[in-house]
Structure formats: structure tokens, C-alpha cells
Structure 1
Amino acid sequence: MSVQLSTGVKSLPPRLSIKKMAWFMGSRHIAPNLFALSVWGFVTGVAMVNYGLAAWQALLMSFLVYAGSLQLTVAPLMALNAPLWVVFFAAMVVNLRFIIFGASLYPYFRHFSVWRRIVAGYFLTDVGFVLFMNRFRAQRIGRIGMYYGYFMSASFLLWLVWQVSTVLGIYVGSYIPGSWSLEYAGVFTLLAIVIPMVRTQPMLVTVVAAGAASWLGQQLPFRLGLFVAIVVGVVAGVLAEKYGKNAGKARKGV
């Protein structure tokens, strides 16, 4: 006898608990993305050192902040001795997207304690968020026990790979010349992660809209273009899904 799930895992031991199944699925689904993410982590470590941060500063930032885009935003500002308020403002703008992510995830985690939600917040990443929402697009009462385990297993494995690769980049970065332009390798690895996740029309609309907004907002100060792109992408995706459903009902004569 096997347990068949709509999340993509077709067979698991029948006595496996819901929580253990969730941890198994989370780690299994994040696994194909780990190599690309390790490249991105390595590039981030190299970039922080090349911007002039000491190894201990880069390590502290990696473990305390744990946000690749934020680290790459504030590292050059810190290297230039920019005013503290500029560093904090730039960091806040770049990470504003996590307010949207957190609000989207709250209905799934509201049943858990504040402490467990704080821990989940530390491990929250772009890839982890997209992976989770891709698997659990609609909330179901019977899945409440799966949400936290799935999210944490995928997120912790991602965190572990990220930190190992970042530490490696920090200590190897001083030997890699800046002329190699490894930042482009990071961009390509992220594309390799995102593109396979575009499976529906609303997701395609989201990616296209966010990409266009990001390109148009390149000249905005403090990386505001990134936040604008996220807002535009979310709104475009929600509208595409809403009107797509309405069009489907209209065709069926509902």
C-alpha cells in the first residue's frame, strides 16, 4: 500500500506521519535547486570580500542577515563608509518584499506559536517562498500539519547549502579577480531556478511583468526598482489568475 499525494510524491511508507511526510517532501522538492543556489551563495561570498569587507564581517553578515540581495546591496555601501542611515534605508527597501511574502504566508502559519513563526521568518527566502506557494496554492484544513514541516525542511536545507557555499566564497574570493564578473553567474543561476517554476499563465504574467518593471526601474535610487518589480509582479499575477478564472467560468456558461 502506498500514500499518493497531490504534491508530487507518489509513494511513501503508509505509517509515515503527516509531519514526517512534510519534512521528506520539503527536502526532496528543494534538492534540484541546491546546486544553483550554492553557486549564488559562492558568488555572494566572493562579492562581499571583493567589496572590501573583512572575512569576519562577511561571515557575520551571512549568518545574521542571511539575504543575498541585501548583502550585495549594503556591502559596497559599507565599503564606501556610507552614512548608517543610507545603509539601513537601502537594506529596508531591498527587503520590503518580505513583508509581502510574510503576509502571503501568514494564513498558512497563523496556527503556530509566535516563536515558531519568528524562526520561519529567519529562514524565509525568495526560492523557499515560491516553492511553498507553488505546492500549496490553496489552503486545506487537512494540510495544516504539513505546512510548517514542509517549509522548514526545504528552508533549512537551503540555508545549510547557502552558508557552506558563502563561507567557501568568502575565503576563496580574495584569490578570484574582479574582472571575472561572477555576478553574472549568480543571475544565470537564479534564472535556472525560476524558469522551470513558470508552469501556468498567471505565473508567466507575473514573471514578465516583474521583469519589465525591474528593467524600467534600474535607475531608481536605493534599489527601489526591485521593490517596484515585486509589487507589479504580484498584482499582475493576482489579476491574471482572477480574470483567467472568470474567463473560464464564462466559457462554461457559469
Structure 2
Amino acid sequence: MRGIAPMLVSLGAWGVVAGVAMAKVGLGLWLSLAMSMLVFAGSAQLTALPLIAAGAPIWLIFGAVFIVNLRFVIFGAVLHPFFRHYSPGRRIFLGFVNTDASFIKFMADHNHLNGPALRSQTWYFVGSGVICWLMWQTSTVVGVLLGSAIPSSWSVEFAAVLALIAMLVPMCAARPALLAVVVASFVSWLTQPLPLRVGLLLAVIAGIVAGYWADVRIERLKQQEGRP
């Protein structure tokens, strides 16, 4: 719990933002809660809500949400070596509780793994995901209930971004992580004009490739320096 606590601040802020957005669209408490419980993806919800409000066709809503959530395909591929020994049903559950926060925390604490995760490490991942799920539901309800009372001038979205930055800064101590953040940020800024938030997916891919390249490069330099 203590390990993921800083990330819960950012997650809670995003949950409030999503709740406020759902309230302004007019979904109501129960529909909003059902959406958060079943979808459990803040970026997907925030992408779908304006389209729902505009009366967009269902195929467009699903297409936009699919593109935004494609990063979880990448996350799943990265996590597959650790959880491949589990049954498909259990892996589906692990995929459901996977979040940006739990993925980042798990990889930061277990990047030394070279094979299947131990039972304790799997429970660590599940526990992080369940805690994130509970925080998301709670903060979403708060956002829905306070939606009409929060003026737009408060810029709750900006507070959520600040919380996310505060979460990422301590993780940038390692050079590969710092390079990944810089590259992803630049690509995200560069691809802003692209529709359906495709730039988000490209930024994730670019950040992962840059971080992986830097990690491999550093390991090779260490090996060369260690040679007689």
C-alpha cells in the first residue's frame, strides 16, 4: 500500500475529473459507477464521454476507445513473460486490474525478473491493481456527486496532471527512464494534431523503445568497461 500510495494521488485526481465529466454529460450516479466498474480506464472514459454527449455513432466511440487503450497491448506484451504460466482466465483478470500506475510500479520494483513471477510478486501486482480499482471507484463517485458544484475555473484536470508529474519525477532517476519520459513527451507534443488521440499510442511506443535502447546501451558499455 505504501509503495503505490504516491500514485493513488494522481489516480484519485483523474477519477474526480472523470466523475465530473460523467456528471456534466448527464449519466447519473449509477450509470457512471457502472461505467467505471466495468471499463476501469480513465483515458478511455474521458475519450468516450465527449463522443457520447455529441451523439457519435457507436462504432466511432468504440474505435476511439480502442486506439486510446492500445497501450495496454504493449503493457500486456511486457508483462507476458512474468505471468505466462497462469491460465487464460487468470491472465484476463490480471489484465483487467492492470493500470498505468500498477504497471509502472511493478516494472520499477521487478525489472530484474528474468522469468515467471513468484506467487508473492503476483499478489503484489494484484494487490496494486485492486487498490487502484477501489481508489478509482471512490474518486469517480466523489467527482459525480461534486460535478455540479465544481466550477470550470478550478481546472481540476491541471491538478491531476501535476499529481501525475509528481509521481513520475522520482522514477526518472535512472537514465533509461528519463530518456523514455523525454522522448514520449516530445512525441506526444509533436503528434497533438492527430485524430482520436493516436499520438498517445505513438508516444507510448516511442518512450518504451527509447528506454529499452538506453538500457541495452548502458549494459553494453558496462560489459565493455569490465573487459580486461
Q: Which TM-score band applies after superposition, normalised by the shorter structure?
A: over 0.9
Match of 2:111 in 1: 137
Match of 1:186 in 2: 160
Q: Which amino acid aligns with 1:145?
A: R
Q: Which amino acid aligns with 1:236?
A: A
Q: Partners in 2 of 1:141 and 1:242 — Cα distance? A: 18
The structure with more radius of gyration: 1
Q: Which runs of 5+ in 2 are unaligned?
A: none
Q: Deviations over 1:3-24 (max 9, x none)?
A: xxxxxxxxxxxxxxxxxxxxxx
Residue 34 (structure 1) shift: 2.1
Question: SS in structure 2 opposite 1:253?
Answer: coil
Q: Which amino acid aligns with 1:84?
A: I
Residue 140 (structure 1) shift: 5.0
Pairing of 1:170-181 with structure 2 (within 5 A): 170-181=144-155
Question: SS in structure 1 opposite 2:2?
Answer: helix
Pairing of 1:8-47 with structure 2 (within 5 A): 27-47=1-21
Question: SS in structure 1 opposite 2:4?
Answer: helix
Q: Deviations over 1:177-230 (max 9, x none)?
A: 223221111111111111112221000010000000000011100000100000
Q: Partners in 2 of 1:232 and 1:154 — Cα distance? A: 26
The match for 1:158 among 109, 132, 137 is 132
Residue 114 (structure 1) shift: 1.8
Q: Aligned pairs, how many?
A: 228
Q: Partners in 2 of 1:60 and 1:41 — Cα distance? A: 14
Residue 38 (structure 2) pairs with residue 64 (structure 1): yes
Q: Which amino acid aligns with 1:37?
A: L
Contact 1:109 1:147 in 2 (8 A): no
Q: Partners in 2 of 1:191 and 1:224 — Cα distance? A: 21
Q: Partners in 2 of 1:199 and 1:155 — Cα distance? A: 24
Match of 1:220 in 2: 194
Contact 1:214 1:229 in 2 (8 A): yes
Query: TM-score under structure 1 normalisation?
Result: 0.85
Contact 1:73 1:91 in 2 (8 A): yes
Match of 2:219 in 1: 245
Contact 1:40 1:189 in 2 (8 A): no
Q: Partners in 2 of 1:101 and 1:168 — Cα distance? A: 29
Change (3 A) 1:94 1:141: closer
Residue 19 (structure 2) pairs with residue 73 (structure 1): no
Residue 60 (structure 2) pairs with residue 86 (structure 1): yes
Q: Which runs of 5+ in 1 are unaligned?
A: 1-26
Match of 1:196 in 2: 170
Residue 83 (structure 1) shift: 1.3
Question: SS in structure 1 opposite 2:85?
Answer: coil
Between the aligned residues of both structures, percent identity stands at 45
